[in-house]
Amino acid sequence: MGFRLINEGAECFSVPEKIVDEYLRFASGDQIKVLLAALRSPSCDEENISKITKLGADEVAECLKFWELMGVIGRDDSASGPPAEVKETPIKYVPGQKRAQEETKPAAVLPDMSEYTRPSPEEIAARLEESAEIRGLFRELQIKLGRTIGYDGQCTFLRLCDNYGLPAEVIYMLVDYCANNGKSGYSYIEKAGRSWAEQEIDTVEKAGEKISRLDKVNAFWSRFSVEQGLKNAKPTASQAKFIETWLGEYGMSFDMICRAYEQTVEKTGKIEFRYMDKILANWHSSGYKDISDVERAEKARREASAKPAGGASYDLDKFKKDSMKKTPKYERPGKK
């Protein structure tokens, strides 16, 4: 069932498709309200937006900064004269560490965060002074996490940006996903960020696709863990990677993964995702599309294994019937 406007003759204004396709899933209600008000009347200032949305001036300012950070809107300062000249302070980092904009793409395998030299508080302050984007990111992350970002958090997010090469908007989406799933620790966020960088998830579009796949993994696990009596509420990072492959690359159905799980437990006596992956990878390479394909293949193997070696077959019922038709006659050897 589709939807249509009741008053189709009413005046309309444009809303970019990317607002719905990319940002609607994680933007707050207040952020959406402020954006709609800003798009409705682009010349509207923060005070008027506050009146329209019934939000405080500070709340409106924070929401507008969020959309600026996401690259959706920009401020029109043409009426206030030319902008003041901004001098960038060059930042000197430890030799061997490159800024994100100096790198064409992340390395195939990135070092752990602990292998990087942490920037000093002075270097962090200089980086924030240099980049309005980083300042905006830190501000929005503090709102998202509900706490002040201390030195550890500053190092984590700055390294995700400057060493792992993740754009600010992607880092925000990463943190938003982690926080919504109860994983807001800096260590967890850093590991997830390194994984995203290694997979070259460096745009909003790629991040949205990644989050969509992860949501499918979580939905799968919610059902799978209940049906199989598993106690852990979330899959481990390793298990999640396997599930993502099975659902995405292999295109396996829920029933097929459950059948592979049953065969694994039968063979190994425990949950062994590597063993499950071998089964599912074989089914994928064999072109099995659903559980009926698996069942037909298993039936064919059972029938083949039931036949004696060499292809000989015996009809026992026929043998019994034939033996009842005549009485065997015993003759002594050599007697005629």
**Closest C-alpha to 27, from 71, 68, 73, 63:** 63
| Predicted TM-score (pTM) above 0.85 | no
Taking residues 153-180, report their average pLDDT: 93
Give yes or no: residues 219 and 255 share one domain. yes
Residues 178, 259, single domain; the answer is no
Claim to verify: residue 117 and residue 170 sit in the same structural domain: yes
Distance CA 163, CA 166 (A): 8
**122 within some domain:** yes
Q: Are 223 and 269 within one domain?
A: yes
Euclidean distance between CA atoms 105 and 82, whole angstroms = 35
Do 220 and 153 sit in the same domain of this protein? no
Residue 133 sits in the same domain as residue 63: no
Asked whether residue 285 is assigned to any structural domain, the reply reads yes
- With cut-offs at 50, 70 and 90, classify the pLDDT of residue 330: low
Please give the Cα distance from 174 to 160 (Å, whole number).
11
For residue 88, is it within any domain?
no
Instruction: Grade residue 81 by pLDDT with cuts at 50, 70 and 90.
Output: very low
**Is the pLDDT at 283 greater than 90, yes or no?**
yes
From 152, 185, 202, give the residue that closes a domain. Answer: 202
Domain membership of residue 216 (yes or no) is yes
Q: How confident is the model at residue 102 (pLDDT cuts 50, 70, 90)?
A: very low
Both tokens of 69, joined, read: 């950070």
Asked whether residue 36 is domain-assigned, the answer is yes
Q: Is residue 279 part of a domain?
A: yes
Q: Is the same domain home to 228 and 299?
A: yes
Asked whether residue 198 falls in the same domain as residue 212, the answer is no
* Structural domain span for residue 50: 17-76
Long-range contacts of 265-271 (CB under 8 A, 24+ apart): 271/230
pLDDT 10s digits, 180-192: 988 899 999 999 9
Residues 249 and 278 placed together within one structural domain of the fold:
yes
Q: Is 94 within the bounds of a domain?
A: no
The one-letter amino acid code at 61 reads: A
Helix residue spans in 114-253 (DSSP H):
121-130, 132-145, 151-162, 168-180, 186-198, 204-227, 237-247
Higher per-residue pLDDT: 318 or 28: 28
CA 208/CA 323 separation, integer angstroms: 74
Give the CA distances from residue 129 to residues 71, 89, 136, 211, 245, in Å, rounded to whole numbers and listed in that order: 20, 8, 11, 31, 42
Confidence of residue 77 (pLDDT cuts 50, 70, 90): low
Both 182 and 107 in a single domain?
Answer: yes
* CATH code of residue 62: 1.10.10
Is the same domain home to 229 and 298? yes
* Total domains present in the chain: 3
CB contact at 8 A, 71 and 136: no
Asked, for residue 10, whether it belongs to a domain, the answer is no
